[in-house]
Amino acid sequence: MKLKSMLFKGTVLIGVITFSMMMGCSVSKTEDNKKVTASSTNENMNKSGNLETGAPKEGVNKITSITSTTDIKDEKGNIEFSLLIRKTNKSLIPTGMGEVESNELWIKYPSGKEELLVECKKSEKLEDTIAGIQNPQVSLDKTKIYFMSAAWMTSGSIHVYDLKTKSERFVCSGNTLAIIGKGEYKGKLLVRKHKYRSAPDYGAYDTYCVVDEDGKELKELGEEVKGEI
């Protein structure tokens, strides 16, 4: 996995992460624009992220540590809520990328209240599989949480959790994820996709695409993004 940060004229890209075969890595990231400001830190196994100590009870899946924390702040710098990715000791999830860790996405409020949003799950359909949750991104209106999951051999998947309806769904395939902060496509997703050319120019390639909230591709941008989208 490698972490990229990009800033384009008129467009802020947040926490862009590329999937690799090494899905067990922890991620530290920052996001900063007028709408959303976030900072991320990695916690060690024995720090305050631990929810339990000692041996887990039989039949209980122990949450072992927080691997990523993203603080979502308002324009005054006050934390509205935090997104936590927690590692567990649950069984690995089979995906096209191999077996991947089963972690969880939580939300924590300044009051200290915490709520589990998304658990990993296996499915016969890889688009419905959730494994190795990474790179949570908040919509500009702060009602939806987009995140990445392992999926196919050549591509991860993008999912979204709706804070109002308390529901999760698949959005599209993708190996990077960012929210576009300004311009014509403000609020849309910037996703790097793995595609295949048709005849006569057969072959695979990777390209950036603008995608809406339902996964519909609005524009293909090419292998690099320069200037305004």
Residue 63: the pLDDT is: 56
Residue 53: the pLDDT is: 30
- What is the pTM (predicted TM-score) of this model? 0.73
Classify residue 56: in a domain, yes or no: no
Output b/e per residue, 186-209; b: 16+ Cβ within 10 A.
Answer: eebbbbbbbeeeeeeeeeeeeebb
- For residue 134, what are the contacts with CB-CB under 8 A and spacing of at least 6? 1, 17, 19, 27, 68, 85, 147, 148, 149
Classify residue 71: in a domain, yes or no: yes
Residue 222: the pLDDT is: 82
pLDDT (tens digit per residue) in 150-189: 999 999 999 999 999 999 999 999 999 999 999 999 999 9
Classify residue 200: in a domain, yes or no: yes
Classify residue 7: in a domain, yes or no: yes
Other beta carbons less than 10 A from residue 217's beta carbon: 12
In total, how many domains does the chain have? 1
Residue 35: the pLDDT is: 36
Range of the domain at 44: 2-51+61-222
Classify residue 229: in a domain, yes or no: no
Classify residue 44: in a domain, yes or no: yes
Classify residue 74: in a domain, yes or no: yes
Classify residue 41: in a domain, yes or no: yes
Query: Residue 46: which pLDDT band, with cuts at 50, 70 and 90?
Result: very low
